[in-house]
């Protein structure tokens, strides 16, 4: 059984990666994106309102 016509992914990331070089720091774009998403997710988790506020006030 062949999925995706013999290709294992829609957009495989097999081509050589891009890297950012800034002074002593050398990081792949992929890793930078992952770390960036982590930081954004953390900040969003802190800031976004959590549902159920009215119910919590009623139970106080």
Binding site for another protein (CB under 8 A): 1-4, 6-19, 24-31, 33-35, 37-38, 41-42, 44-48, 50, 52-53, 55-57, 59-60
CB of 31 within 8 A of CB of 19?
Answer: no
CB of 28 within 8 A of CB of 19?
Answer: yes
CB of 59 to another protein, least distance (A): 4
Contacts of 17 (CB under 8 A, 6+ apart): 28, 29, 30
CB of 39 to another protein, least distance (A): 9
CB of 27 to another protein, least distance (A): 7
């Amino acid at each position: 059984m062949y999925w995706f016509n013999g290709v294992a992914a829609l957009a495989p990331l097999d081509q050589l990666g891009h890297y950012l070089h800034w002074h002593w720091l050398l990081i792949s774009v992929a890793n930078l994106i992952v770390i960036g998403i982590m930081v954004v997710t953390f900040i969003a988790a802190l800031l976004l309102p959590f549902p159920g506020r009215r119910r919590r006030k009623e139970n106080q």
